[in-house]
């Protein structure tokens, strides 16, 4: 005799949902130290998955062998780059940190008393002391003792192995994992969920794959420019400019403030001009490069999928920093852009409106990223 299924009441559904949320919140709190490595694992898998699909197709390999080959090649590249460039980069960063601390000591002499500007009184020494404490907290790992550096290196290696293994299996079973998640959704909502997922995937594709390429290009350009004009710590400033590309709308401002302080207090290493004139040169170069970056590089490499108002990005960065530290800052822009997609869909459902065209037909990515998506779709069909 078949038993009839009893439908849950609204109270039962609400209670079960509350229990799930409480358990999920407890697990996030209990294992919060593993969240950051897991996020990095997902990012690595997301970025490398299309490349693995391309290698799999070209060499006609099984998925596992293709993943292993890609990881072995990347490991060889990382080790080679580390042997060739790591000592130089570490030396530049250490010199940069010592230089910043030296500049702070000089600034204490220049601003030894209270400052007054436009009717506002500023306590110069107190402001500099707070800035010094902040610099000390952020730069202490770079100039710490050999034992501290070794401990941090070992910790980084352990987490690196963890990220490698998790990302390896995420790439290996990516198609099965996506299909499993899709089938968790009720059939009546599944098509809309897939379309929504595709648009969010477009946002993150543009951000990660495009942002990494953009960061490397900007890093190379600005390193050459800094060397050409005699900017102190040129390699560090070039790397910093590339990393600041991960903070849309705000990163350029952070770089300009740092470069301005160095230019005004240290000047050029070889151009015989006053420090204020060198600062003007840095400012002009920065303005020109910003226009080139915003109007040429970003539209062609990333597209407009993550294009957000500067104020929204700034608020997101502050919230991301308080919730997730450096990782929260880096992921603020794509997270907000994804939330915008989801809220647009939810609002259309709440007010019984038609689903936005962007969800029904996701926009084309920039040309440089269409190849990645095509390879991902071919890989899914092959599996």
Average pLDDT over residues 185-207: 83
Backbone angles phi, psi at 115, to 5 degrees: -110, 150
Token pair belonging to 253: 């401002």
Q: Which of 168-177, 248-257, 310-319, 373-382 has the lowest mean pLDDT?
A: 373-382
- What is the C-alpha separation between 138 and 132, in angstroms, rounded? 10
DSSP states of 156-224 as a string?
Answer: HHHHHHHHHHHHHHHHHTHHHHHHHHHHHS-HHHHHHHHHHHHHHHHHHHHHHHHHHHHHHHHHHHHHH
Residue 332 has pLDDT above 90, yes or no: no
Q: What pLDDT does 96 receive?
A: 73
Q: What pLDDT does 125 receive?
A: 65
pLDDT tens, position by position, 14-54: 888 889 889 888 887 887 777 888 888 888 888 888 889 88
- What is the C-alpha separation between 128 and 125, in angstroms, rounded? 5
Of all residues in the chain, the percent with pLDDT exceeding 70 is 75
Every domain of the chain and the residues it spans? 34-184, 186-372
Between 341 and 89, residue with greater pLDDT: 341
Q: Which of 15-29, 85-99, 213-227, 314-328 is predicted most confidently?
A: 213-227
CA 41 to chain centre: 13
Q: Which of 21-35, 181-195, 283-297 is predicted most confidently?
A: 283-297
Token pair belonging to 205: 């594709």
**DSSP run (H or E) holding 122:** strand 120-123
Q: Which of 81-95, 159-173, 286-300, 361-375 has the lowest mean pLDDT?
A: 361-375
Q: Which residues contact 318 (CB under 8 A, 6 or more apart)?
A: none
pLDDT tens, position by position, 81-113: 878 877 777 777 777 777 776 766 766 666 666
């Amino acid at each position: 005799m078949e038993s009839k299924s009893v439908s849950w009441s609204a109270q039962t559904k609400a209670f079960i949902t509350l229990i799930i949320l409480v358990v999920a919140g407890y697990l996030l709190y209990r294992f919060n130290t593993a969240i950051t490595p897991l996020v990095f694992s997902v990012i690595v898998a997301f970025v490398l998955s299309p490349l693995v699909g391309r290698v799999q197709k070209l060499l006609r390999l099984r998925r596992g062998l293709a993943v292993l080959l890609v990881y072995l090649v990347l490991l060889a590249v990382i080790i080679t780059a580390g042997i060739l460039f790591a000592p130089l980069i570490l030396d530049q960063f250490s010199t940069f940190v010592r230089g910043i601390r030296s500049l702070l000591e000089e600034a204490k002499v220049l601003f030894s008393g209270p400052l007054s500007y436009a009717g506002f009184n500023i306590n110069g020494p107190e402001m500099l002391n707070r800035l010094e404490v902040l610099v000390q907290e952020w730069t202490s790992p770079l100039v710490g003792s050999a034992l501290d550096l070794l401990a941090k290196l070992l910790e980084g290696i352990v987490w690196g192995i963890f990220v490698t293994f998790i990302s390896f299996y995420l790439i290996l079973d990516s198609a099965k994992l996506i299909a499993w998640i899709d089938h968790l959704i009720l059939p009546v909502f599944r098509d809309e969920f897939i379309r929504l997922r595709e648009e969010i995937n477009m946002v993150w594709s543009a951000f990660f794959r495009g942002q990494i390429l953009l960061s490397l290009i900007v890093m190379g350009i600005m390193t050459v420019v800094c060397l050409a004009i005699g900017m102190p710590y040129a390699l560090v400033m070039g790397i910093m400019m590339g990393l600041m590309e991960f903070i849309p709308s705000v990163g350029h401002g952070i770089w300009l403030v740092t470069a301005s302080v160095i230019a005004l207090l240290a000047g050029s290493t070889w151009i015989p001009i006053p420090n204020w004139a060198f600062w003007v040169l840095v400012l002009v170069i920065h303005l020109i490069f910003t226009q080139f970056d915003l109007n040429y590089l970003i539209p062609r490499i990333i597209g407009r999928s993550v294009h957000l108002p500067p104020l929204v990005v700034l608020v997101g960065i502050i919230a991301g920093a308080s919730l997730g530290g450096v990782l929260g800052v880096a992921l603020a822009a794509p997270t907000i852009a994804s939330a915008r997609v989801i809220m647009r869909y939810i609002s259309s459902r709440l007010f019984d409106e038609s689903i936005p065209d962007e969800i029904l037909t996701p926009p084309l990515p920039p040309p440089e990223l269409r190849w990645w998506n095509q390879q991902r779709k071919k890989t899914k069909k092959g599996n």
